[in-house]
Structure 1
C-alpha cells in the first residue's frame, strides 16, 4: 500500500511539473534579439482601462498581462518558437479560435476553471513575426468569445503597444 501511494505521489508530482507556463516562455525570450516584451505592472492597468469602455470591460479582472513580439532569425528558431507555443497551449488550454492562412496564423486558447475563463493566450504570426498576448484573470466567456470573433484582441494589442511606445518615446521631465 505504501509503495502504491508513493508511486502515485511521484506520478502526480511529475505530471504537475510538466505544465509549461507563459512566465517560462516570456522569461526565456524577453532578452532575445529584436524582441518587444511588455509585462504590464498593476498600476498601469488603470491607465489602460481608461482608454475605452471596452478596454475597461476586458481588463477589469486582469491579474497579469504580458505581450511579446518575436522575430525569429531563421527556420530552426521559427520552429522552436512554434513548438514552444504549441507546448504552452496544448496543456490545460482549449483552442477557441484558429485560423491558418498561408503566411498568417491566429490562435486563441483559453484555460477554463469551472464556468469562467482564467487565462487567455492570443498567438499571431505574420510577416515573420510571432506576437503573443497573455491575460490572466477571471473573464466572462461571452466577452472572450466576442473578442475572439470580432478581432478585438488586435485592438487590445495595438493599444498596449501604443501605450508602451508612448512611454518609451515621451520626453522625460523631472
Structure 2
C-alpha cells in the first residue's frame, strides 16, 4: 500500500466520522434510558432512537414520548406529552382528565396524583405538559409545570435494544 492510498483511506474515514457526528448532533441520536420514570414503557438500560429534527417542522402532540432538558437541573429527561397548548388538565381520583375526557392510559404503572402544581391547569401557549409513565416515581410537569417547547430536544421513535 502506498502513501496516496493511505491518505485516501484516512480522508474517507475522517469524512465518515464527521458526517456521523453531525447526524447524531442534528438529526438522529441513540440514547440510553437512565431513569425509572417511564416504566412500564421503557426501562433503565433501554437504547432508544431519538428524532431530533422533527420538532423543527411540527409541534409535539399528545402521546409523544420526548427527550427534554430538565428546567431546573442540567440533566435530560424522557417523558410523555399529555397536554398541549390550550388543553385543560385535571386530576380526579388518580385519573388524568384532558378537556373533560378521562384518558385511557394502559402504559402507566400507578395512579396520577398532584405533586406541586395546582389542578385544574390550562397549558399555556408555547408549552406542553409532560408526565412520566411511572407516575408514582416521576419528576415531571406536576412538579415543575408546563415545559417550554424550546426545552424539547426530540421525539423517541424506536427502541433499538432490547427489541
Alignment TM-score, normalising by the size of structure 1: 0.26
Alignment TM-score, normalising by the size of structure 2: 0.27
Higher helix share: 1
Structure whose alpha-carbon radius of gyration is higher? 2
